[in-house]
Structure 1
């Protein structure tokens, strides 16, 4: 990597050279993905271009006020760029902060002008949970609850779809975790299927490789039992399924994209809009809390490292309480002509 200091001397490092060196560092030493590197390049080209329009060409000329003004410009937009929302502006500022942090670490700057410029706080978006009746309609539209009588490929895939969606809603798993399951991960759950209502356990591998055990109720066990007994053996007859629990029509492991596609198809048949695999995860958590589950238990079931992440679901249930109260209590709304 070329050293800008060798050609310019301390205090006179051109911004464009620092940008080039930082991008080389991201690509060669941190090995960022091509799309991520492209986003950094786009953000930093815009940042350096903004500074140059202000008459700044060297690193030492940049002060915190310039970085803050740039953040404001991102939010306001201009003739060439639409205004950025809080999340997008925060991502762009992260690239700027990384650039200046890199310059200080390399000894090309004595101070970091971006260190005290904080990103905008995105508005809180409450998780979107579907009502129980919508979830049930979606599950019914995905396929039969029992193994199909015929061996038609469409019937087999429908039973697989039902089993996957029952697992997603019954455990609150991420779709990537569900399609990553192996048969051995649900062995105990399937063994418990005939023990008069005993709840089996499923082993999920979450973010960072962290494992957790989640109970699996009777509806999901019933769908999984039929799928494993009569459906999966036929789908993996080609011998390419390996240990994967959920497989595609060719016998290979079902992908995350495949899970999205089958859910979208079921949602279309059910007449449900705006549904994703995460909707089932949100519904799982919200319905548990509505039913009186302890938030710490929900945290463990979801695999959250901090209860703070889980607490957003309590806001959902409070909002639901307000809706029910406002629509049901005879004195919840003022019926007169003015406000009260």
Structure 2
């Protein structure tokens, strides 16, 4: 599927509206291809379950069927966060179907799902983050362009807290080395400007010098390139971060999101205000950013328990 288009097997009354809904997500709501695919998968599962229960079109779906669908998944051992996501997908789809006249009433209005578990994100301590970037810098000393790229990837993720999708989507002209800022296109096609520090700027200068070694006809204006010269993919970037985190040896943190969590927590630990961190991370809601205040409190509590003689 490309650009949010559904697969061409949507021919029965249950799945015909799904095609229109996926186009709505992609074209009117500007949802990413990955998000549209996730909606399609969840909603096909819901529609399949409803068909098993006797529904022949959307108007035949009722609250009882939806609850049975979630119950079956719960019995199969799916996590609360997955059930909450799938419930939200069903409500979004059926609410849209009611507004568009595919059904007379939305059967999902009273559909409840387990609340998502709020797991505190695992973050690196400052000394771990320093070792992470210093190890990458040491590996880049020989001048191998891939090693230089990896160093710049790690420095920039930690310096800015941007998402991995935002990182790999960067073009060369979106980096302002003089002002030490970058422009990223975040969720909902919202653009924001994010500052970075001197170490990240130095790493980017080195990478821009080494980038020529990987350039080819497929490179275009992409800032970060893969070994074959095309734009670096999200999976490749995750592999870079995972490998570097494993080499630390004293953390179970994994993936680029760990560096995003780390950047946010270190900013708050250093005295940054919550609104500024919200703007830097591109969070639509301040409540999302507030999660990191709990991380900082937990770190403070752990330090207190470890250090105070009467803790």
Match of 2:229 in 1: 251
Which residue of 2 is the match for residue 139 of structure 1? 133
Q: CA distance change for structure 1 residues 22 and 265 in 2, over 3 Å: closer, same or farther?
A: same
Q: Helix, strand or coil for the counterpart of 1:30?
A: helix
In structure 2, do the counterparts of structure 1 residues 227 and 63 end up closer, same or farther at CA, with 3 Å as the change threshold?
closer
Q: Does 1:114 align with 2:83?
A: no
Q: How big is the shift at 1:68?
A: 7.6
Instruction: Give the 5 Å matches for 1:1-340.
Output: 20-28=12-20, 30-31=22-23, 36-49=39-52, 51=53, 66=64, 70=68, 73-74=71-72, 77=75, 82-94=76-88, 96-97=90-91, 98-99=93-94, 102=97, 106=101, 109=104, 111-144=105-138, 148=141, 155-186=144-175, 188-189=176-177, 191=178, 200-229=180-209, 231-236=210-215, 238-271=216-249, 272-332=251-311
The Cα shift of 1:184 comes to 1.8
Shift of residue 268, structure 1, vs aligned partner: 3.3
User: Separation in 2 of the partners of 1:61 and 1:21?
Assistant: 10
Higher-Rg member (1/2): 1
- Are the aligned partners of 1:43 and 1:95 in contact in 2 as well (CA < 8 Å)? no
Q: Tell me the CA shift for residue 85 of structure 1.
A: 2.6
User: 2: CA distance between counterparts of 1:268 and 1:207?
Assistant: 29
SS in 2 for 1:262: helix
Equivalent residue, structure 2, for 1:7: none
2-side partners of 1:325 and 1:254: how far apart? 42
Q: Is the 8 A contact 2:70 2:87 kept in 1?
A: no
TM-score by length of 1: 0.73
Pairwise CA RMSD: 3.2
- Distance across 1 between alignment mates of 2:273 and 2:88: 36
Q: Judge conservation of contact 2:181–2:195 (CA < 8 Å) in 1.
A: yes
Between the aligned partners of 1:221 and 1:132, the Cα distance in structure 2 is: 19
What CA distance in whole angstroms lies between the structure 1 residues aligned with 2:161 and 2:138?
A: 21
Shift of 1:38: 4.3
Query: Number of paired residues?
Result: 288
Work out whether residues 67 and 113 of structure 1, in 8 Å CA contact, stay in contact via their aligned partners in 2. Answer: no
State the SS of the aligned residue for 1:320: helix
> d(CA) in 2 for partners of 1:92 and 1:329?
45
Determine the C-alpha separation between the residues in 2 that align with 1:205 and 1:96.
28
Question: Separation in 1 of the partners of 2:62 and 2:189?
Answer: 42
Task: Please list the CA deviations of residues 253-299 of structure 1 after superposition, one character each: whole Å capped at 9, or x if unmatched.
Answer: 21222211222232333335441101101000000101111111111
Map Cα deviations across residues 68-106 of structure 1 (whole Å, 9 max, x no partner): 8526734652xxxx1333223234434654458736864
Q: Give yes or no for contact 2:192–2:282 (8 Å, CA) kept in 1.
A: yes
Q: Which residue of 1 aligns with 2:6?
A: none
